[in-house]
Structure formats: structure tokens, C-alpha cells
């Protein structure tokens, strides 16, 4: 079965392109052209039915992703399914299963059955867990174990997978002599760097990239080419190693597009606020305007306990600078602290506000209409329309209309809008 990219290049407007264009309120031919060029992708495994495809990229609204996943043997699948419901209710666009421990296969299968949101995974996490659990040796990760796991997850129905083929043997050697405060912070990067350092082999995800393409192409699974050499301190951001990895990824984008495989670039880590625009611009140009997934970009490190806000600030600037898809962070993202539903919802809302501000600044029709309609309802004291155009309708559940007819004002008698109406109109 041809992929969305191949079909679009042949002039075919697929059902998925029609569905996304309708949701985004843009022309179907415009979206088809973006998909054909690779500047937009559509998340939907070709073997799945009953899910709403999601478009990411040029001319589309900024999308928000949220994560679940089992992290150790104590993790309970039911808790992750509860998080899935919170994520859906909060209005995230995409779901990511980052399970690294416990019942990984079972968790993924349960999540796929429980949601219609597109699902992304990191197959390397399961392969690394198996190598460490069975052999206590990261060097047991092989080409076959990686490709088999990727094919299994594609067959299960995941819509995109994050892989890290950009961390090559050459870059691991460069990393050893770097002046970074924290040389590695990516889990996937640490696994692959350790594999390369221990065995002396090339990164299998890079060396056997063509075979990997043949697998994902069968299912039209989108490849998210992740940065394994992200920086963990703002003073290290945008160093030569980071850009060398992006150069490798740009080569792989070309190879993937030649085979009709949809790709996007995933970046994360700590990036100095002033360097965000140039980083996004350079990645776009180097990767031929592939969609960018800015996943937890932190402009500072010391705001411990408020990482959902720090991440939203970084995400907003990334999106305004050209990123197409942003991730949300929990208040204590880099700890073993267990999140609750309220924290998860709040983190998603922070990211949604960041995405909406960007869409508004880009004059996206849907975002402009929502903002305009909310403001109009506010000056008309129309709670129902305010709720319909609000980012979080549940806020209005706390308001007792019978007790306070105009809860949106600080004081009925001193409300600016009421005074204007009384004395000017």
C-alpha cells in the first residue's frame, strides 16, 4: 500500500488528507502538496481503522503531545490508562508511550485499545530493557533486536516512532573530548553511545537505516528522527556536536523521502532562550523543512518544580520560530516523582496555551476565531459562549451562575465594559 507521501506525490487526495484539511480548515490541494514535499506529515498507521488522523507541519495548527508510560516493576497499567483519559479530556492532540519498565507490550496494547489519539513510541527503550534484564549488558543490543521490535510495534498499530540514528560512532568519539558541563542527557543517546563505546560498532539505527525504512513504509508509520545529543545546560546549547548530529539527520531525511517515508525532526533539551530562533531556523533549512517536534525545550534549569512552565515558555518560542509540534512537561519532569491527574492536566494546559499563542500570532483562522469569540462573549457577559470558546471548559464548573450572575467581573458596578455601555452607548 502506498504511503501518504507517495500518494500525495502522485496527485492523489486520500481520505486522511481530506479529514485533516477539514479539521484544519485549509484546502485539500494545499495540504496534499505539503505532504508530497514532506513539510507536513499525517499521523495514522495504515493498518489502523477508527482513529482520527492528525496533521503536523506547515500551514497547520501547532499540535500538543503528552506522555504516559510504565517506568519500573511497580508501575500499574490501570494508572497509565487513567492518564490517557486525562490527556484526552485535556485536549492533547497526540499521545506518546515512553514505557521503559514493567509490562511494556501489554501497556502499549491497552493504550492502543483505549484511545483514538495517534500514538508514538520509542522502540529502543524496550530493546534496552530486555538487554539489561536478561544479560545485564547493553552490548547485547543488536540490529535484529532493534528492527524486530520496530516491526512489532508498527504491526501493533503505533502511528509514529522516535529513533535516534544521528548519534554515530564518529560523534561518540567527538563527545568524549567535548567541553560540555553534562555530556549526555538523553536516555536513548546514553544507551546508543554506551553500545557504540563498548562494542566499537556503528549505531545500528544509522547503519541499517534502509532496512528500517522498508519496515515502517509497509505501515506508513512516521519516523521521528530524534536528537540523542541534546544539551542539558543552556550554556552548552547549539554547540558543534549538536549541529553535527542534525547534519546526519538531514541526510536521513533525504533518504526517507526518496522511499516515500514521512519524517519529522524531534529536538529536546536545554536551549538558551536567545538561541531558540536560530536553532529552529537552521534545523528547518538543514532538514529541507521537515516538521519539527520540540519536545520539552527548557530555556533554564533552575526552575525546579516548575518545569511545566519553563517547558511551555520554551515551546512557545520554538513554535513561534517555526516548530510544528510541542511536548508538555510535568512540574518535576526529571525525577521519579509520580504525577497525579491534576499535574498532568496542568502541564497539558500550559503547552496548549503556548500552542494557541503561536497559532494566534500566525493568524491561524481557527485560533483567531476562538480568541475573538471568547472576547466578544466576555464583553456581552455570555457565559455559555465563553465556555464554548475556552481552552478549558471545566473552569466554568466552578462558577455558580445563580449566585453570581456575572462571575467574570470583579464588580458589577465598576466593570469597565458595563460603565462603557452605560455612559458611551
In tens, the pLDDT along 263-290 reads: 999 999 999 999 999 999 999 999 999 9
Q: Domains in the chain: how many in total? A: 2
Whether the Cβ atoms of residue 171 and residue 248 lie closer than 8 Å to each other:
yes
Lowest mean pLDDT among 43-57, 214-228, 251-265, 334-348: 334-348
User: Does residue 274 share a domain with residue 393?
Assistant: no
Q: If we measure between CA atoms, which residue out of 371, 138, 159, 131 comes closest to residue 264?
A: 159
Q: Is residue 23 included in any domain, yes or no?
A: no
Dihedral pair phi/psi, residue 202, rounded to 5°? -80, 155
Give me the domain span that covers residue 400: 381-424
The answer to whether the Cα torsion of 276, 231, 264, 295 is positive or negative is negative
- In a domain, residue 35? The reply is no
Task: Please check the confidence at residue 416 and state whether its pLDDT lies above 90.
Answer: no
From the number of C-beta atoms within 10 Å of its C-beta (0-12, 13-18, 19+), residue 177 rates as exposed
Does 120 fall in a domain?
Answer: yes
Distance CA 339, CA 393 (A): 22
Packed helices 77-90 and 104-114: angle between N→C axes, nearest 10 degrees: 30
Query: Among 317, 334, 362, where does a domain finish?
Result: 362
Buried b / exposed e along 330-351 (16+ C-beta atoms within 10 A): bbbbeeeeebeeebbbbbbbbb
Do 272 and 420 reside in the same domain of the chain?
no
Instruction: Assess if residue 41 is contained within a domain.
Output: no
Q: For residue 74, name the pLDDT band (cuts at 50, 70, 90).
A: low
What pLDDT, on the 0 to 100 scale, is given for residue 400? 60
- The residue to which cell 455601555 is assigned: 421
Tell me, yes or no, whether 286 lies in a domain. Answer: yes
Asked if 151 and 194 sit in the same domain, the reply is yes
User: 358 with 385, same domain?
Assistant: no
Would you say residue 210 has pLDDT above 60? yes
**Do 272 and 356 fall within a single domain?**
yes
* pLDDT reported for residue 411: 47
In a domain, 18, yes or no: no
Q: Is 346 helix (H, G, I), strand (E, B) or coil?
A: helix
pLDDT-derived band at 399 (thresholds 50, 70, 90) equals low
* Cell representation of residue 123: 522502540
What beta strand segments (E) does 122-202 contain?
160-163
State residue 403's pLDDT score.
Answer: 55
Say whether both 153 and 115 belong to one domain: yes
Contact call for residues 246 and 284 (beta carbons, < 8 A):
no
Contact 111, 79 (CB under 8 A): no
The verdict on 214 and 261 lying in the same domain is yes
pLDDT band at residue 378, thresholds of 50, 70 and 90? confident
Task: Please write down the long-range contacts of 372-379, taking CB distance under 8 Å and 24 or more positions apart.
Answer: 378/408, 378/417, 379/417
CB 414 within 8 A of CB 422: no
Within-domain flag for 8: no
Please, which residues have CB within 8 angstroms of residue 19's CB and are 6 or more apart in sequence?
52, 53
Judge if 249 and 392 occupy the same domain.
no
Boundary of a domain, candidates 334, 362, 390:
362
Mean pLDDT of the chain: 91
Give 273's DSSP letter. G
Same domain, 161 and 125: yes
Is there a domain that residue 320 lies in? yes
CATH label of the domain that carries residue 265: 3.20.20.540
Please state, in angstroms and rounded to a whole number, the distance separating the CA atoms of residues 220 and 223.
9
Q: Mark whether 171 and 317 lie in a shared domain.
A: yes
Pair 311, 333: CB distance under 8 Å = yes
Same domain (yes/no): 192, 329? yes
Q: Are 173 and 210 within one domain?
A: yes
Amino acid at each position: 500500500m502506498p504511503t501518504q507521501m507517495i500518494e500525495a506525490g502522485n496527485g492523489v487526495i486520500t481520505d486522511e488528507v481530506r479529514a485533516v484539511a477539514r479539521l484544519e480548515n485549509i484546502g485539500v490541494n494545499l495540504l496534499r502538496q505539503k505532504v508530497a514535499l514532506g513539510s507536513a506529515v499525517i499521523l495514522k498507521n495504515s493498518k489502523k481503522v477508527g482513529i482520527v488522523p492528525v496533521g503536523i507541519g506547515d500551514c497547520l495548527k501547532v499540535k500538543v503531545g503528552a506522555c504516559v508510560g510504565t517506568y519500573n516493576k511497580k508501575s500499574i497499567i490501570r494508572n497509565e490508562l487513567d492518564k490517557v483519559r486525562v490527556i484526552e479530556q485535556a485536549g492533547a492532540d497526540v499521545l506518546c508511550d515512553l514505557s521503559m519498565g514493567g509490562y511494556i507490550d501489554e501497556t502499549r496494547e491497552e493504550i492502543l485499545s483505549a484511545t483514538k489519539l495517534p500514538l508514538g513510541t520509542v522502540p529502543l527503550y524496550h530493546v534496552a530493557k530486555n538487554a539489561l534484564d536478561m544479560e545485564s549488558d547493553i552490548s547485547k543490543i543488536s540490529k535484529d533486536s532493534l528492527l524486530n521490535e520496530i516491526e512489532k510495534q508498527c504491526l501493533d498499530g503505533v502511528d509514529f516512532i522516535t529513533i535516534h540514528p544521528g548519534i554515530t560512532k564518529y560523534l561518540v568519539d567527538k563527545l568524549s573530548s567535548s567541553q560540555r558541563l553534562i555530556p549526555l542527557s538523553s536516555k536513548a543517546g546514553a544507551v546508543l553511545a554506551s553500545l557504540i563505546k563498548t562494542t566499537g560498532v556503528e549505531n545500528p539505527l544509522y547503519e541499517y537505516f534502509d532496512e528500517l525504512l522498508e519496515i515502517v513504509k509497509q505501515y506508513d508509520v512516521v519516523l521521528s528522527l530524534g536528537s540523542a545529543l541534546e544539551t542539558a545546560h543552556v550554556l552548552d546549547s547549539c554547540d558543534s556536536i549538536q549541529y553535527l548530529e542534525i547534519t546526519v539527520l538531514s541526510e536521513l531525511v533525504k533518504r526517507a523521502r526518496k522511499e516515500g517515508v514521512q519524517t519529522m525532526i524531534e529536538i529536546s533539551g536545554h536551549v538558551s532562550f536567545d538561541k531558540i530562533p536560530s536553532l529552529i531556523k537552521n534545523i528547518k533549512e538543514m532538514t529541507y523543512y521537515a516538521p519539527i517536534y520540540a519536545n520539552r525545550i527548557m530555556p533554564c534549569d533552575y526552575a525546579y518544580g516548575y518545569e511545566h512552565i519553563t517547558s511551555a515558555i520554551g515551546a512557545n518560542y520554538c513554535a513561534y520560530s517555526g516548530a510544528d509540534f510541542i511536548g508538555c512537561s510535568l512540574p518535576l519532569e526529571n525525577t521519579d516523582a509520580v504525577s497525579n491527574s491534576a499535574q498532568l492536566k496542568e502541564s497539558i494546559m500550559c503547552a496548549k496555551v503556548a500552542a494557541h499563542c503561536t497559532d494566534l500570532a500566525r493568524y491561524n483562522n481557527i485560533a483567531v476565531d476562538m480568541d475573538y469569540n471568547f472576547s466578544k462573549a466576555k464583553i456581552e457577559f455570555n457565559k455559555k459562549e465563553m465556555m464554548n470558546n475556552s481552552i478549558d471548559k471545566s473552569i466554568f464548573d466552578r462558577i455558580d451562575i445563580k449566585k453570581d450572575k456575572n462571575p467574570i467581573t470583579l464588580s458589577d458596578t465598576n466593570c469597565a465594559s458595563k460603565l462603557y455601555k452605560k455612559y458611551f452607548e
